[in-house]
């Protein structure tokens, strides 16, 4: 126990001395000094990735709508010592929600629905909270996590049915109907919270599973087909898919979880039912194209995927008085989150961030827009094959401090990047 405390003290000292010292250092514009700074930056990143138990990471820093830093660290296959590269593929986890929201808002721009329409009018089944049958659940609510769903409502006796059928990709559409329709085989009123739809923010997957179903019902295509044709192919995202079996398996990073301070590998997998909210796979090179489009009013390299006014709407707090209670609990009440449409507004570590974070078993993704100390708008992408902070309530103080230092280091790095 004593040796463990000493080990933690040493690592904390490393974080504060090595990382903290950079916050007060100045960076000149000479080539040799820049080279030294990059070496120092790389060293700090490598140390902090070990502290937060992530075997590999792709880091992209964006300024003025162009990628200024694109670096890979660590091993996509830790015990085989296979290094992460520019074309390493990661699962985005819940950052997939932003892509799904963009797809749905494309259909909105085409006039297929209004944000405050009742989603039941666009589905072959009715979605109503049984406690509030006269209150409509709207498109705005599902994309802003305000619909009042409860992801933890499954009855135990229905678990075998769900486990079996959730592994069959063709059954995903039927499963969400089985869960939320009063006539469904896995229905439970516990999938609906005690709160009236629109009254309280509660982060959930069910709303974005429904968003995926709505894309399919309105467009006539699967989520994969629709996004390939309307987002991925126009942006040149050739290594991005909701179907990982269509991608190069050798380039997919092995997922790892941290068990007793040991990085434990998991088998590679497909999220099936959770594709729309959490199951998109991509590379850093591909995803920067999508993120730059979001930062640049819907345009990347002359290709528009969404109208600028629509991007602004997505990046606006939809329920300004409503903080997300569930995410607050998961992050030990040290974070405040409000929602746009498939978009977060996050106050954490004395930082104001917007974008999205994501976690899937053995993966994590962070996509943030913020302002650095020079008051410059910058973008940060981190793709990793470890859990980082998910859920933060189960993370040690050391990991939380390591993540804070990691995030602040990336923001600081943007200050010395050329315009």
Q: What percent of the chain has pLDDT over 70?
A: 84
pLDDT at 192 over 60: yes
Q: Is the pLDDT of residue 391 over 80?
A: no
The answer to whether residue 172 scores a pLDDT higher than 80 is no
Predicted local confidence at residue 260, as pLDDT: 72
Question: Of 221, 207, 232, which is closest to residue 300 (Cα–Cα)?
Answer: 232
Of the ranges 14-18, 98-102, 161-165, 404-408, which is most confident?
98-102
Give this prediction's pTM. Answer: 0.89
Q: Using CB atoms within 10 A of its CB, is residue 398 exposed (0-12), middle (13-18) or buried (19+)?
A: middle
Sign of CA dihedral 1, 266, 242, 206: negative
Q: What is the pLDDT of residue 174?
A: 82
DSSP secondary structure letters along 51-114: HTT-SEEEEEEEETTEEEEEEEEEEEEGGGTEEP-TT-EEE-GGGHHHHHHHHHHHHHHTTS--
CATH level 3 topology of 52-94+225-395: Beta-lactamase (3.40.710)
Least confident of 87-91, 173-177, 251-255, 330-334: 330-334
Which of 79-83, 268-272, 291-295, 349-353 is least confident?
268-272
Q: Which pLDDT score is estimated for 259?
A: 76
Note the pLDDT of residue 163: 66
How confident is residue 390, by pLDDT bands cut at 50, 70 and 90?
A: very low
Helix, strand, coil percentages in the chain from 3-state DSSP, rounded to 5: 45, 20, 35
Lowest mean pLDDT among 17-31, 133-147, 240-254, 302-316: 17-31
For the cut 80, the answer to whether the pLDDT of residue 171 exceeds it is no
pLDDT at 340 over 60: yes
- Give residue 331's pLDDT: 62
Q: What is the pLDDT of residue 23?
A: 37
Provide the sign of the torsion angle of the four alpha carbons 343, 408, 253, 261, taken in this order. negative
- Residue 265: half-sphere exposure toward Cβ, Cα within 13 Å: 11
Rg (CA), the chain: 21
Average pLDDT over residues 170-193: 85
Distance from C-alpha of 381 to C-alpha of 389, rounded to nearest angstrom = 15
DSSP state of 254: P
Q: Largest Cα–Cα distance of the chain, in whole Å? A: 69
* Amino acid 328: pLDDT: 60
Q: Say what angle helices 96-109 and 284-295 make with each other, to 10 degrees.
A: 50
Residue 41 has pLDDT above 50, yes or no: yes
Per-residue CA distances from 375 to 23, 66, 323, 346 (Å): 16, 17, 26, 18
Domain residue ranges of the chain, discontinuous segments joined by +: 1-51, 52-94+225-395, 104-219
User: Of 159-163, 359-363, 400-404, which range is least confident?
Assistant: 159-163
Is it the case that residue 347 has pLDDT exceeding 70? yes
Share of the chain above pLDDT 90, in %: 62
Output DSSP code: residue 354: E
Does position 152 have pLDDT exceeding 90, yes or no? Answer: no
């Amino acid at each position: 126990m004593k040796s463990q405390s000493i080990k933690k003290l040493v690592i904390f000292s490393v974080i504060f001395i090595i990382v903290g010292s950079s916050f007060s250092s100045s960076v000149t514009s000479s080539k040799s000094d820049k080279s030294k700074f990059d070496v120092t930056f790389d060293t700090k990143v490598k140390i902090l990735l070990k502290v937060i138990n992530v075997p590999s990471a792709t880091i992209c820093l964006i300024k003025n709508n162009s990628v200024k830093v694109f670096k890979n660290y660590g091993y996509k296959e830790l015990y085989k010592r296979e290094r992460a590269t520019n074309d390493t593929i990661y699962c985005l986890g819940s950052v997939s929600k932003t892509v799904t929201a963009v797809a749905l808002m494309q259909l909105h721009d085409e006039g297929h629905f209004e944000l405050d329409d009742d989603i039941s009018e666009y589905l072959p089944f009715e979605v109503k909270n049984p406690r509030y049958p006269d209150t409509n659940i709207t498109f705005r609510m599902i994309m802003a996590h305000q619909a009042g769903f409860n992801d933890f409502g499954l009855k135990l006796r229905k678990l075998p049915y769900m486990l079996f059928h959730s592994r069959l990709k063709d059954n995903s559409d039927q499963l969400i109907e089985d869960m939320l329709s009063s006539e469904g085989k896995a229905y439970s009123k516990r999938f609906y919270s005690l709160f009236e739809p629109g009254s309280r923010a509660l982060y959930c997957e069910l709303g974005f599973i429904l968003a995926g179903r709505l894309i399919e019902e309105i467009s006539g295509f699967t989520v994969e087909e629709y996004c390939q044709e309307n987002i991925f192919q126009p942006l040149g995202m050739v290594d991005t898919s909701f179907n990982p079996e269509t991608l190069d398996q050798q380039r997919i990073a092995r997922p790892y979880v941290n068990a007793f301070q040991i990085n434990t590998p998991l088998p590679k997998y497909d999220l099936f039912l959770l594709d729309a909210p959490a199951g998109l796979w991509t590379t850093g090179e591909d995803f920067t194209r999508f993120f730059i489009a979001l930062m640049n009013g819907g345009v990347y390299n002359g290709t528009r995927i969404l109208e600028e006014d629509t991007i602004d709407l997505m990046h606006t707090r939809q329920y300004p008085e409503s903080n997300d209670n569930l995410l607050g609990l998961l992050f030990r009440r040290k974070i405040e989150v409000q929602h746009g449409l498939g978009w977060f507004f996050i106050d954490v570590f004395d930082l104001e961030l917007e974008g999205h974070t994501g976690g899937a078993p053995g993966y994590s993704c962070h996509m943030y827009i913020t302002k650095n100390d020079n008051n410059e708008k910058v973008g940060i992408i981190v793709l990793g094959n470890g859990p980082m902070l998910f859920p933060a309530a189960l993370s040690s103080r050391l990991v939380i401090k390591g993540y804070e230092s990691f995030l602040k280091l990336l923001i600081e790095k943007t200050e010395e990047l050329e315009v």
